[in-house]
Amino acid sequence: MRYQPALSVSRLNDFKQCPLKFRYRVIDRIPEPPSSAATKGTLVHSVLEHLFDLPAQDRTVHQATNLLEPQWAALVERDPEVQKLFEEESFSEWLDSARNLVRTYFNRENPTMLNPSRSNRERMITVELDSGIRFRGVIDRVDVAPSGDLRVVDYKTGKMPGPMYQNEALFQMRAYGLLLKYDQDKEPLQSQIIYLGSDSTLTYWTDANDSTQVEENIVGIWNQILDCLDQGQFPPRTSKLCDWCNFKDICPAFGGQEPPMSEEGVAKLRRVALT
Ligand code: SF4
């Protein structure tokens, strides 16, 4: 099947954070070097995904931490570049910190009591919203209760944000709820973000107005993206996150020179909307 461009939950967040960063990632597709923090996140997610391949009684801390090395080997096979991260940093220290995050997971949940099917782990959903926008997201885990009620679970290897920033984090979960509503005509009853970096969980109970509000929000952001496309300008928006941005060298807010925008990328992005 031909790959269809879609707006993803993560890229929406990029646009909200900084339109220029969105442009470099989505339109120009400028390659970014792997980072040890992001690679650790990928590894821990992989372990938690595969933990549920084991029979329930075998989902112990010991078995989970034993998955780290084979999952690391699989990650290297997919992207050998990640090994270069450890020319300067100690691999064993890095792996120990990933092991601690996996151990912390067991403070948050008892995986022997959960039974997510294969298709409900790292589940990619793409839908066509009524507004004509193709929208996509990858959900870490969807739990189905015996009553049929759904719960969406997302793992983060960082720390829980302070109360002022939690709405932003929950937007992602509400957007996953919208995807489930379109995909299986059912919204989750509850969403949880498990922050392994701070051994804490943020829980959200779906509100009856969520899907309408989230879709309005997505349409609003899409209209802002269209304005940027029409003006040929995605402005930089500085914040404390600029310190971790891979595009600082080509960001005019930091004295850099913007490269020309990819015409192919622009045409592809416009195909996200069907109308
Ligand atoms: S450095 Fe900051 S302002 Fe510039 S592109 Fe990155 S996030 Fe945007």
Q: List, for residues 31-75, the tens digit of each pLDDT value.
A: 998 889 999 999 999 999 999 999 999 999 999 999 999 999 999
Q: Which of 83, 113, 143 is the last residue of a domain?
A: 113
Ligand 1 pocket residue status of 196, Cβ below 6 Å: no
CB 185 within 8 A of CB 223: no
Q: Which atom of ligand 1 is nearest to the CA of 20?
A: 5
Residues 125 and 108 reside in one and the same domain: no
Q: Which string of DSSP letters, residue by residue, matches 237-271?
A: ---GGGGG-TTGGG-GGGT--PPPPPHHHHHHHHT
1 within a domain of the structure (yes/no): no
Residues 67 and 136 reside in one and the same domain: no
Residues 66 and 149 reside in one and the same domain: no
Entry pTM: 0.92
Mean pLDDT of 93-110: 97
Q: Which of 113, 146, 177 is the last residue of a domain?
A: 113
Residues 97 and 155 reside in one and the same domain: no
- Ligand 1 centroid, distance to 251 Cα (angstroms): 6
Q: Which of 213, 231, 255 is the last residue of a domain?
A: 213
One-letter amino acid for residue 259 of the chain = P
Ligand 1 pocket residue status of 242, Cβ below 6 Å: yes
Ligand 1 pocket residue status of 236, Cβ below 6 Å: yes
Total of domains in the chain = 3
Choice from 27, 242, 261 to test ligand 1 binding pocket (greatest atom count within 8 A of CB): 242
254 within a domain of the structure (yes/no): yes
Which residue minimizes the CA distance to atom 4 of ligand 1? 251
Residues 131 and 46 reside in one and the same domain: no
275 within a domain of the structure (yes/no): no
State the Cα–Cα distance between residues 110 and 8, nearest whole angstrom. Answer: 30
The residue ranges of DSSP E strands in 30-169, in sequence order, are 121-128, 134-144, 150-156
Q: Is the model's pLDDT at 107 over the cut of 80? A: yes
180 within a domain of the structure (yes/no): yes
CB within 8 Å of 124: residues ≥ 6 apart: 136, 137, 138
Residues 56 and 100 reside in one and the same domain: yes
Residues 91 and 140 reside in one and the same domain: no
Q: What is the CA radius of gyration of the chain?
A: 20
- Ligand 1 centroid, distance to 30 Cα (angstroms): 14
CB 154 within 8 A of CB 117: no
224 within a domain of the structure (yes/no): yes
Residues 102 and 72 reside in one and the same domain: yes
- Ligand 1 centroid, distance to 28 Cα (angstroms): 15
Q: Which atom of ligand 1 is nearest to the CA of 248?
A: 1
Residues 152 and 208 reside in one and the same domain: yes
Ligand 1 pocket residue status of 16, Cβ below 6 Å: no
Supply the range of the domain harboring residue 170. 119-213
Q: What was the pLDDT predicted at 165?
A: 87
CB atoms within 10 A of CB 148: 8
Residues 142 and 170 reside in one and the same domain: yes
- Ligand 1 centroid, distance to 183 Cα (angstroms): 34
Mean pLDDT of 251-261: 97
Name the residue among 174, 240, 194 with its Cα closest to residue 48.
194
161 within a domain of the structure (yes/no): yes
- Ligand 1 centroid, distance to 39 Cα (angstroms): 21
2 within a domain of the structure (yes/no): no
> Tens of pLDDT along 116-126?
999 999 999 99
Residues 200 and 123 reside in one and the same domain: yes
